Structure 1
């Protein structure tokens, strides 16, 4: 079995910071990351979606985390086809962006080249230090299977060069029974890691609870919670959820199978509710560390530390 690294999709989420999970004296920027890294071995940098990351921050993150820690960095919105406000760009690039939301087709190759280059430069300290897990390309709900989408994926892979890429689809057809084999083959041929997801299952936009392995070096699964507000409302509405022990235990065999086929498996919790994500991560670590079949036994699924509380 490969290494299984379990963590949360942010260490700076305001819900987590205000939950009391960080102890006194560890609530400044440096203290939070050092404390988080003492408890969990991987984290997702979700802020990369909203603004280009900075090289200086990457250098500080390397200083504040131990060898073996991993950062998965979410790709900037413009790189995945999401509408991007010009104000989200660095100040010196806004003049080239024009007005109104940007998309890759409207941005111009020169601007896209500059954004890709700056993103790569910003994460280079993580790569150099061995802290880099993958760049997460999370495509929008309208990114459906077909020729244009495949061309866009191929363009991403060409631009990314030797970056490790993880690809998460939001359009349900990618992993529908009639398309799943083709999706698996496409990502395998591109050398990209498919991202499995856990989410509410009875909506038209629901993706199945699978953990595909399309690149042996790395598999990724993201737990989004099971809020019925998926696809609407605020971020807190969409991702507010507290996993039960039984819900986590049901995923254990699936994750073990994925880990058996990958050198490294990242399991990331994106359920925003106080410290629900980090509590779920700790509990899942303990479930996976237990002997096979023991996850259903009483006494193995209690809280991993005192002071947790449920979502309202």
Structure 2
């Protein structure tokens, strides 16, 4: 099965019903897509009440890809608000526990920062994460080129397979060591994962030092039909290697993600059932 969705549900005006208010965005979103990447969990471990609210607002078959908290991946700057790494991981597991119990947790996305390069101490950190989250499906996303340079590509893929990780296949600008190539290889038979960041080469690296402005242009990209055809071929390859392929569009800055995802869905002839019935067709067609 191929499941297509977006990063977050708060920045996609095209999928919201005209009569909806801000609190109904997830309900509207889940009328269009069967999966979503939860990115709020990256900035703060979410309180249980939020998790239970999101579970209640989505169909029984809806799935969440939960992004790991930034303190778990090395993104966090300054002092962590936890007494130990173990406490941090325990709080994270308590947070997402209800989602797992409800059968709505597709995987935990562990995305490492661009400076997380291929060396022993970082390999050890990945092993530690596996120990802390041993009962969870974990997708690993690298953002430093060294994991895929030369002979390391095969070793990285084998390492992920040996530890039962889901290899995150990335489509992103090729802009030096802070970006990774598209390596369309699944490491598990049940699940594979592809994240589409866009191909904005000029905006990928922060050369200004202004993080706020940079975030607005980093994922500013609109995939062409020809590029979506390339992505479709990647998806078909992953489908031959794994039962379920999760596809997430992360090119949110200009509002292109939802339209790109719908266009890919239409190109592939995919129709999703058992979604929330409240839907507005973003192509302007009658439902």
Aligned-partner SS, 1:11: coil
Hey, what does 2:58 align to over in structure 1? 65
DSSP 3-state at the match of 1:49:
helix
Structure 1: distance between partners of 2:253 and 2:107: 25
- The superposition leaves residues 257-280 of structure 1 with CA deviations (integer Å, 9 ceiling, x where unpaired) of 101211211110110234311111
Corresponding residue SS for 1:136: strand
Whether the 8 Å contact between 1:77 and 1:84 is mirrored in structure 2 is no
Tell me which residue corresponds to 1:181.
154
1:119 aligns with 92
Partner in structure 2 of residue 260 of structure 1: 240
| Cα distance in 1 for residues equivalent to 2:144 and 2:175 | 14
Task: Provide the secondary structure at the position in 2 that maps to 1:157.
Answer: helix
User: Structure 1 residue 145: deviation in Å?
Assistant: 1.3
Equivalent residue in structure 2 for 1:159, among 132, 138, 146:
132
* Inter-partner Cα distance in structure 1 for 2:258 and 2:57: 19
Which position in structure 2 is the counterpart of 1:136? 109
5+ unaligned residues in a row in structure 2: which ranges? 271-280
Secondary structure of 1:196 counterpart: strand
Quick one: which of 219, 240, 243 aligns to 1:239? 219
Rounded Cα–Cα distance in structure 1 between residues aligned with 2:40 and 2:185:
25
- The answer to whether the aligner puts 1:277 opposite 2:271 as a matched pair is no
Scaled by the length of structure 2, the TM-score of the pair is 0.88
Once the two structures are superposed, the pairs formed by residues 1-312 of structure 1 within 5 Å of their partners are 3-13=1-11, 16=12, 19=13, 21-29=15-23, 31-86=24-79, 89=81, 93=82, 110-227=83-200, 228-232=202-206, 234-289=214-269, 305-306=283-284
Contact 1:241 1:276 in 2 (8 A): yes
- Residue 51 of structure 1 deviates from its aligned partner by 0.8
Whether the aligned pair in 1 keeps the contact of 2:161 and 2:187 (CA below 8 Å) is yes
Instruction: Assess, with a 3 A threshold, how the Cα gap between structure 1 residues 202 and 145 changes in structure 2: closer, same or farther.
Output: closer
How many matched pairs? 268
Name the stretch that deviates more: 198-207 or 242-251. 198-207
Q: Which has the higher contact order (CA 8 A, sep 6+)?
A: 2
Q: How far apart, CA to CA, are the structure 2 residues paired with 1:130 and 1:214?
A: 22
Provide TM-score, normalisation by structure 1: 0.81
CA RMSD of aligned residues (A): 1.9
Aligned to 1:98: none
